[in-house]
Amino acid sequence: MKHFDTFGVMIDCSRNAVPSVSGLKRFFSTISKMGYNMAMLYTEDTYEVTGEPWFGYKRGRYSLAELKELDEYAASVGIELIPCIQTLAHVNALFHFRAYNKIRDIDDILLIDDEKTYDLIDKMFSSLSSAIKSRKIHIGMDEAHNVGRGKYLDRHGLCDRYEILLRHLNRVCEIAKKYGYEPMMWNDMFFRLANGGDYYVDTPLDFSKEITEKVPADCGMVYWDYYSNSAQRYDAMMESTKQLSDNVWFAGGTWVWAGFAPHARYSNIRNALAVPACIRHGVRNAFFTMWGDNGGECPYASALGALMYAAALAEEMSEDEMKAKFKEITGETYDDFIALDLPNYIHGEKRGVGTANYSKNRLYDDPFLGIMTLNGENADGTIYSVYAEKLHKIADESTTIYKTLFASMAALCDVLTIKFSLADRTRTLYANGDKEALRALAENEYTECIKRVETFYTVYRDQWYTMNKTYGFEVQDARLGGLMRRLQSCKDRLLAYANGEIDAIDELCEEVLPILDGNYPIWAATLTANIM
């Protein structure tokens, strides 16, 4: 690529959804045709580490043989596979089985200055280097807020947080070097150090010599930004990062991490600022992240529209060229892929929704508790029947592997046509004391809604197994099976109320207070105020 040496993607394989080997091969082949030459697999604990049987246990981790196979395939289509791991925080699943309790500092953070931690990290590098040829590696190191405040503090007393972070970083880089690795890391640690705890700046920071001296000389610095909406910020962040290292990387977002549907339009608007900024500042290494927060519900393939758009920005393609290329590569229309965004556009296609995950929030919103009922700014959900029709039509006409993406979003819109306002309607009828209307609502809408959730479940499961390993779907079984049961349970109670068998439904007597947070990313918080 003219403007980039490395132009890549980062696929999250750690949030329950672990992309299948066949799915990844298909994906590598597709993005390589778009112009990408690098892929990172973000694996917190979802890869085999020799001698560590509990590492990634029951999580669907990649075996070293699978990684080798992926590496070879990627190379054959011109893609460099780079491991993207964590060597400090974000290793929450590691602590599930207690085998690693001894090296847990606090929260999801490894215990610094304990040799057992470095033994484990050594084994991580050793295993990865045996399976994957690239000698670049992303060592993570973001968001370790409470580092040094748990077991570390019990052992050593309170120490300066940055001092221990830097000592750890240097130690990790040293181990990486032993295996011939050139590491890179998320750069926010240094910004927060120089900037009173905050990451983003709108004018370039002047890092003191004291800080720049502490950056390991050969460590690449990755500036990540999935949100910023001003060219000035990208400029300031890139200029600042250059002071930390000669080896600067940019990580943008191709959003698939806020619920079931992607946010391609939002991603495009951000990347339209970010990619030209990279070109302006000579940042020649970039990749686009596909995180999978809270379950990995939205598959990586749903980001293909936004990925094509980012590649077109890098290659300075015209819109027509881009669309023609997309069609040629995927067999699908670019605009159809962008339509996968629709389930969150509750105010109609013309009004942006940021990265709101209304579709997930309203799918799981409890019909009686109605915690999310006030988050939709007066939208009533009637738009969903229009979206459903549109997405069904695309799905029906699709003959590619991507048919499943459209089919599941169509089925989701079918559910939301009823479910979006179900809690609100139930509450209103209850407040009006209209028992007969509640009976009708239960018998018609609740019954139909359960059927539609069942259909969505089946289509969505199909999508999951097309894209991912089977692991992680146990969580979707629990969530969607739970939803069906809850709808049935509420229906039963509405009928009991209409029949006079119970004289009140307590949850419907309690008012709904505004949640003040907009959207909830977490499934459990969407539906209950209790502890799941």
Token pair 């997930």 in the structure block, residue: 360
Exposure b/e, 376-398, CB count within 10 A at least 16 = b? beebebebbeebbebbbebbeeb
Q: Which residue has the tokens 């980039």?
A: 4
The least distance separating other proteins from the CB of residue 369, rounded to whole angstroms, comes to 5
Q: Is 529 in the site for other proteins (CB under 8 A)?
A: yes
Q: For residues 99-128, which are near other proteins according to CB under 8 A?
A: 106
Verify binding: residue 93, other proteins, rule CB under 8 A: yes
Please measure the distance between the N-terminal and C-terminal CA atoms of the chain and give it in whole angstroms. Answer: 49
Cβ atoms < 10 Å from Cβ of 366: 20
Taking CB under 8 A as the binding criterion, the range among 1-9, 407-415, 429-437, 521-529 that sits at the site for other proteins is 521-529
Minimal distance in Å, beta carbon 186 to other proteins? Answer: 21
517 touches other proteins (CB under 8 A): yes
Per-residue contact string for residues 400-439; x = within reach of other proteins by CB under 8 A: ----------------------------------------
Structure tokens at 235: 């400029």
- Residue (of 439, 470, 455) closest to 395 by Cα position: 455
Side chain identity, residue 446:
Y
Q: Decide if residue 332 touches other proteins (CB under 8 A).
A: no
From 214-222, 225-233, 334-342, 524-532, give the range in contact with other proteins by CB under 8 A.
Answer: 524-532
State which residue, 4 or 520, has the beta carbon closest to other proteins. Answer: 520
Which listed range, 120-128, 132-140, 174-182, 363-371, lies at the site for other proteins (CB under 8 A)? 363-371
From the list 213-221, 251-259, 311-319, 523-531, the region that binds other proteins by CB under 8 A is 523-531
Binding to other proteins (CB under 8 A) within 268-307 occurs at 294-295
Instruction: Kindly provide the b/e burial profile for residues 457-493, where b requires at least 16 CB atoms within 10 angstroms of the residue's own CB.
Output: bebbbebbebbbbebbbebbeebbeebbebbeebbeb
Residue 473 interacts with other proteins (CB under 8 A): yes or no: yes
Tell me the closest approach of the beta carbon of residue 99 to other proteins, in angstroms: 8
| Cα dihedral: 289, 59, 262, 453 (round 10) | 180
Minimum gap (Å) between residue 493 Cβ and other proteins: 8
Report d(CA 159, CA 165) in Å as an integer: 10
Which member of 16, 30, 32, 254 binds other proteins (CB under 8 A)? 16
Nearer to other proteins, 57 or 179 (CB): 57
Q: Could you tell me how many residues make up the chain?
A: 532
DSSP 3-state of 531 = coil
Q: Does 366 bind other proteins (CB under 8 A)?
A: yes
Alpha helices in 88-187 (DSSP H): 115-131, 151-156, 161-178
Name the strand (E) or helix (H) holding 209: helix 209-212
Residue 512 contacts residue 427 (beta carbons within 8 Å): yes
Q: Does 475 bind other proteins (CB under 8 A)?
A: yes
**Which of 290, 494, 498, 505 is in the footprint of other proteins by CB under 8 A?**
505
Helix (H) or strand (E) holding 30: helix 21-34
Least spacing, CB of residue 264 vs other proteins, in Å: 26
Summarize as ranges the residues that interact with other proteins (CB under 8 A).
15-16, 53-54, 57-60, 92-93, 96-98, 106, 146, 149-150, 153-154, 158, 294-295, 366, 368-369, 371, 457, 461, 469-475, 477-486, 488-489, 493, 505-507, 510, 513, 515-517, 523-525, 527-532
